Amino acid sequence: MKILILVGPPGSGKGTQAEFICKKFGIPQISTGDMLRAAKRAGTLDKKYLEIMDSGRLVPDEAIIELIEGRLQQPDTGGGFLLDGFPRTVPQAEALDGLLAKKGLTLNAVVQLDVPRGLLEERLVNRRTDRKTGKIYHLMYNPPPADAELEHRADDQPATVQKRQDAYEAQTAALLPYYEAKQLLRRVDGVGKPDEVTSRLEAALA
Ligand code: AMP
């Protein structure tokens, strides 16, 4: 039973590395960003949240907590799970503690992917997702196969990327001392090729 959180600024490689960790431990990846984008595609996302997402700000805590509470009721989370992009604020982390306590579950580790801000914008502007598989690529460093149906996220444009980095520094970075105080935080250098970062993550979780 593994319950893990991946924390890191937008573009630090959370989505890419989450895929590896989930395969290794046989647990589902829970990404609030992916859930919100799925709701957007299905046309079920409240318009006010759509505008918030597209502007690079954070969706209000209550809406996100409700989303996670519903997701954690799904049977596939019974053997553990990896949270990617949640929690993003201290109130969300406190709400998660409450949800886990109610279920008698404990968090195993919080892994922080460390990447300097100067490298992040370039990663996001070159990031593409394959609509069919959900796989994430970098146009130069991790090029997609020829048959991929590539999508560029609406919030991966330079101006929005800056706002998302600001939101990370203003709200999400406060999670690090929160989890450090609980002795759950493990820092991993996120600079390098995806498989180099994967090896470091493996060592951090061993
Ligand atoms: P991500 O794919 O994790 O970068 O999330 C994309 C966008 O969805 C973010 O910029 C926020 O607008 C919204 N979002 C995703 N997860 C959260 C969260 N835990 N709290 C608030 N907003 C979120």
Among protein residues, the one whose CA lies closest to atom 15 of ligand 1: 33
Tokens of 119: 């490298």
Angle at 178 between CA 172 and CA 183, to 5 degrees: 130
- The model's confidence at residue 175, banded by pLDDT at 50, 70 and 90, is very high
Which domain does 185 fall in, by range?
2-116+172-205
How many independent structural domains does the chain possess?
Answer: 1
- The model's confidence at residue 134, banded by pLDDT at 50, 70 and 90, is confident
Whether residue 69 lies inside any domain: the answer is yes
Whether residue 21 lies inside any domain: the answer is yes
List 71, 123, 164, 200, catalytic entry: 164
Whether residue 199 lies inside any domain: the answer is yes
Regarding pTM above 0.85, the answer is: yes
Amino acid 121 reads E
CA 46 to chain centroid: 21
Whether residue 50 lies inside any domain: the answer is yes
**Residue 194 CA to ligand 1 centre (angstroms):** 22
Whether residue 129 lies inside any domain: the answer is no
> Using only C-alpha atoms, what is the Rg of the chain?
16
Whether residue 48 lies inside any domain: the answer is yes
List 14, 37, 71, 123, catalytic entry: 14
- Residue 126: name the closest of 101, 149, 152, 159 by CA: 152
Q: Which residues line ligand 1 (CB under 6 A)?
A: 10, 32-33, 36, 52-53, 56, 58-59, 64, 85-86, 88, 92, 155, 164
The CATH number linked to 109 is: 3.40.50.300
3-state secondary structure 155-169: HHCHHHHHHHHHHHH
Whether residue 148 lies inside any domain: the answer is no
Whether residue 185 lies inside any domain: the answer is yes
